[in-house]
């Protein structure tokens, strides 16, 4: 059974089909990239997978469970977490606090425990802080835990955003343009981090425009254009697909 199964997924805004009858699967342990021109429906797809949008039709099944009707926080609790194209962090809070906020989605204490500061609450907070520090060390931000998130470089903010997603303990991590807005040297470091996350057993699906990176790290590539899937396959197969070349890659991939 696939970890993620998408069948007939469609999203209509007014008269526009942003995503149209999309079918695909992601197996546990895979790294799958979603590519396509601007406006192809890539981020809309992520919004559908994570409960930010309700599908017009079609189904999303994750780990054997139909995800229909679930809100974003419920999807996260099921094991799907994401980052955003525009880095989404709490800029007035410290780096450590940002990761703790992400981790709090899995907190086991209830409302009254938080209000009354019960021993269980204090133990949970200690565990959350320790786990947040482990994650910051993992992504290379341990020495910045007290820094205000808004004062970080763009590359460090990307790492923090990934940290917040990892804090929810996902089975599937969705990365929306994880290298957007950073320089070539920083891209290499972020891709090393993606590989490191994969080695931890987390399945990854990413949206990315940097083709050299996509071709080098992906098990499979899914290509969207005008909301429809126009190709799917291994990087070498997609690179020579004539429809993909016309729609997105350009003549340099036609060799």
Virtual CA dihedral for 136, 93, 129, 171, nearest 10 degrees? -60
Quote the CA–CA distance of 80 and 51 in Å, as a whole number: 10
Question: Would you list the domain boundaries of the chain?
Answer: 1-79+170-255, 89-169
Condensed to tens digits (0 to 9), the pLDDT of residues 36-81 reads 999 999 999 999 999 999 999 999 999 999 999 999 999 999 999 9
> Residue 38 to residues 13, 18, 117, 203, 247: CA-CA distances in angstroms?
17, 12, 48, 25, 11
Topology of 1-79+170-255 in CATH? Answer: Rossmann fold (3.40.50)
For residue 144, the tally of other CB atoms under 10 A from its CB is: 19
Residue 167: the pLDDT is 94
Mean pLDDT in residue range 90-109: 80
Quote the CA–CA distance of 112 and 119 in Å, as a whole number: 12
**Quick check: 174 and 51 in contact, CB under 8 A?**
no
pTM: 0.90
Q: Write down how long the chain is.
A: 255
């Amino acid at each position: 059974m696939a970890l993620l199964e998408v069948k007939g997924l469609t999203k209509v805004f007014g008269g526009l089909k942003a995503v149209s009858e999309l079918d695909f699967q992601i197996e546990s342990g895979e790294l799958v990239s979603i590519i396509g021109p601007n406006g192809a429906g890539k981020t809309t797809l992520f919004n559908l997978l994570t409960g930010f949008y309700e599908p017009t039709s079609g189904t999303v099944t994750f780990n054997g469970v139909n995800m229909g009707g679930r809100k974003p926080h419920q999807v996260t609790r099921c094991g799907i977490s994401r980052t955003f194209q525009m880095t989404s962090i709490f800029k007035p809070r410290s780096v450590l606090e940002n990761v703790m906020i992400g981790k709090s989605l899995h907190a086991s204490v209830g409302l009254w425990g938080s209000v009354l500061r019960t021993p269980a609450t204090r133990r949970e907070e200690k565990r959350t802080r320790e786990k947040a520090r482990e994650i910051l060390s993992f992504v290379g931000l341990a020495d910045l835990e007290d820094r205000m998130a808004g004062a970080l470089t763009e590359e460090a903010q990307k790492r923090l955003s990934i940290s917040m997603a990892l804090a929810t303990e996902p089975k599937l991590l969705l990365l929306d343009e994880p290298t957007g807005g950073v320089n070539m040297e920083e891209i290499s470091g972020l891709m090393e981090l993606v590989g490191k996350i994969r080695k931890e057993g987390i399945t990854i699906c990413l949206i990315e425009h940097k083709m050299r990176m996509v071709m080098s790290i992906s098990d499979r590539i899914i290509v969207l254009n005008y909301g429809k899937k126009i190709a799917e396959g291994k990087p070498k197969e997609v690179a020579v697909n004539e429809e993909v070349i016309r729609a997105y890659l350009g003549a340099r991939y036609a060799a």
